[in-house]
Structure 1
Amino acid sequence: MNTFWAGIGLRLGATGLFAVMSLFVRLASFEAPVGQIMFWRSSIALIPIVLYLIWCNQFPRALRTARPFGHIKRSTFGLVAMFFSFLSLSYLPLALATALGFLAPLLVLPIAMVMLREKPSIAVFVATFAGFGGVFLMLWPTLSTPGLDTGVVMGIAAGLAMAVTTAFAKAQIKALTSTESSGTIAFYFAVICALGGLLTLPFGWVNPSLEALTYLIGAGLTGGLAHIFMTEALARAPASTLAAFEYTAMIWALLLDVTIFGVLPQPVSLFGAFLIVLAAAIVMFGDKIIAMLPTRANKQAATASED
């Protein structure tokens, strides 16, 4: 039980770190192309990852793996998801790009059931669909605007593609955690994504300003820490249960949009954010509440005890 709650705490921590990373990525995108951001985010992320391995007394032992193709498969999904995620962030406000990412938890449910043979509870299903409804409300003000900007359309398309690849990447992470340490998974993911970003060098990188360089380094450090937290969380709790807690990232995105970019959400978007928070609460307390509700069996037992 303690391990389960530790997994939830780690996932919440990862969510906050990923939100800050997204902020750095959006700020860096005003100068740098997506491929260059991917390289910096992934290469700098190796610093906290290697320090983490040293702290756990796993370096360089953790670099040995019996499942190289599993890491390649996971990192390939993650690489594509990162590209689409950063592309979406370069065109959309943080809250809207984050909302599109919340399609991934909905997709994790069937993937976790098929690939990992998990059996999510009814509360998890209810929470996931409630969160999806909140995401729809977040998107509605943008989708209902006549004559969508081309950049917005590209951002939305990239966000949808990111959601699909992210769902498969998370399922693959869960499969790897049965034999691989979180540090090993994070290390090879960062290496492969850094190489993928480096391949875009011939397509035109920029000489970043000091401000943009700070954002690139910040994205790498927060991204590396977030990935460690997320992988540790998946090693401690079912992927289908942790899915709903990703919705708390919307709170971070809304706050950052307001404080950093001055983007005020519409009332329908705020209601969508409320549904997202409610979804996380259902997962945390839903099963306990259901167990406390009077059922026919409980009533019969209570009647028998009174007699």
Structure 2
Amino acid sequence: MRPASVSGPSSLTGIGLMCLAVVSFAVTDATAKWLGGHINVAMVVWARYVIHFVLSALVINPWTVPGLLRTRRPWLQLGRSALLFACTALNFTALQFLQLDQTVSIMFSAPFFVAVFAGPMLGEWVGARHWVAITAGFAGILLVAQPGAGGIHPAALLSLAAALCYALYSITTRILAKTDSTPTTLFYSALVGSVAASLPLPFLWETPTEPLVYGAMLELGLIAGGGHLLLIMAHRRAPAATLAPYLYIQIVAMIALGWLLFDQVPSRWTLAGAAIVVASGIYLLLHERKERAARTLEATLGD
């Protein structure tokens, strides 16, 4: 069977779905930032998880998917879900203090963390060229977070911690893919996040006074859940290596939403840092694709 190419109808559909997914993630962050000005962050995180869980459970549940709760690595499933929850909570908190373009640029340091941790955790050690790209990427993060008389805003460290959590989440997802089904992993993510977000709510609940806030809470869960569904659909139609560069459309979307909704114009430092992060990330993606192709050719010749 011939593999799908970028020019094939399936891959083009996958790319379109990927673009919609990353724009959905940008809208999710923008909504979370707006909600943070009306309710506390704990309620924002709760809305994101619980509404997403309730909606997804209508389709993916133990009755429609027999054996859904069966996992061969329960502790790793819980740990992965906890990492995603921590990433969301840290990112939504940082959004209350930083511009949208700043948070998304810092969050895109996650691929560099993945490259660093893939060696000890997955046995995928990186070479000298990877380390150059990783170093350049972190230099771009410093440009986004720092220049100015005030120095680094403490919230930038929250975004960096969120990126670290997301990198570990990505690695554990790859490990679990060998033993557990995708529906099982998705269900545990939503379930654990919903439980964790609900525990402090009795002590932190603030009854919204504006109907628009309720609408935004509902929209947050819908868009977040829809974005993850679009991401899954995209990966079913095109290879991950084909889709990965389109992740960076999220930076453009975040800059546009920050300008339209919050009158936030990115500084020259943010634009320069984001450009370095994108260039470094795309270099890593292209280099990884080249290495994968070389390994495939080697295996083919070996046969």
Counterpart CA distance in 2 for 1:113 and 1:25 is: 34
Given that 1:18 and 1:222 are in contact with CA atoms closer than 8 Å, whether structure 2 keeps it comes out as yes
TM superposition score normalised by structure 2: 0.76
Please, which of 139, 149, 157 is the counterpart of residue 145 of structure 1?
149
Counterpart CA distance in 2 for 1:147 and 1:281 is: 28
Given that 1:99 and 1:139 are in contact with CA atoms closer than 8 Å, whether structure 2 keeps it comes out as no
Q: Which structure's residues are more often helix, by fraction?
A: 1
Question: Following TM superposition, by how much is the alpha carbon of 1:12 offset from its aligned partner in structure 2, in angstroms?
Answer: 5.0
Counterpart CA distance in 1 for 2:79 and 2:103 is: 25
Residue 222 of structure 2 is aligned to residue 221 of structure 1: yes
**CA spacing shift, 1:123–1:146, aligned 2, 3 Å:** closer
Residue 96 of structure 2 is aligned to residue 90 of structure 1: yes
**CA spacing shift, 1:165–1:286, aligned 2, 3 Å:** closer
Letter aligned with residue 46 of structure 1: F
TM superposition score normalised by structure 1: 0.76
Please, which of 14, 27, 37 is the counterpart of residue 20 of structure 1?
27
Counterpart CA distance in 2 for 1:58 and 1:3 is: 37
1:295 maps to: none
Given that 2:31 and 2:220 are in contact with CA atoms closer than 8 Å, whether structure 1 keeps it comes out as yes
Unaligned runs of 5+ in 1: 291-307
1:301 maps to: none
Residue 66 of structure 2 is aligned to residue 61 of structure 1: yes
Question: Following TM superposition, by how much is the alpha carbon of 1:171 offset from its aligned partner in structure 2, in angstroms?
Answer: 0.9
Question: Following TM superposition, by how much is the alpha carbon of 1:42 offset from its aligned partner in structure 2, in angstroms?
Answer: 0.7
How many equivalent residue pairs?
281
Question: Following TM superposition, by how much is the alpha carbon of 1:52 offset from its aligned partner in structure 2, in angstroms?
Answer: 5.6
Given that 1:105 and 1:243 are in contact with CA atoms closer than 8 Å, whether structure 2 keeps it comes out as no
**CA spacing shift, 1:195–1:287, aligned 2, 3 Å:** closer
Residue 44 of structure 2 is aligned to residue 37 of structure 1: yes
2:262 maps to: 261
Counterpart CA distance in 1 for 2:136 and 2:19 is: 19
Counterpart CA distance in 1 for 2:121 and 2:43 is: 33
Letter aligned with residue 44 of structure 1: I
Letter aligned with residue 146 of structure 1: G
RMSD (CA atoms):
3.7
SS of residue paired to 1:31? coil
SS of residue paired to 2:39? coil
Given that 2:90 and 2:162 are in contact with CA atoms closer than 8 Å, whether structure 1 keeps it comes out as yes
Given that 1:84 and 1:158 are in contact with CA atoms closer than 8 Å, whether structure 2 keeps it comes out as yes
Question: Following TM superposition, by how much is the alpha carbon of 1:105 offset from its aligned partner in structure 2, in angstroms?
Answer: 1.8
Larger Rg: 1
Percentage of identical aligned residues: 25
Counterpart CA distance in 2 for 1:47 and 1:201 is: 17
2:168 maps to: 168
Unaligned runs of 5+ in 2: 292-303
Any idea what the Cα deviations from partners look like across 1:33-60, whole Å, max 9, x if unmatched? 1221121111111255346648xx9933
1:202 maps to: 202
SS of residue paired to 2:146? helix
Letter aligned with residue 107 of structure 2: G
Question: Following TM superposition, by how much is the alpha carbon of 1:84 offset from its aligned partner in structure 2, in angstroms?
Answer: 1.0
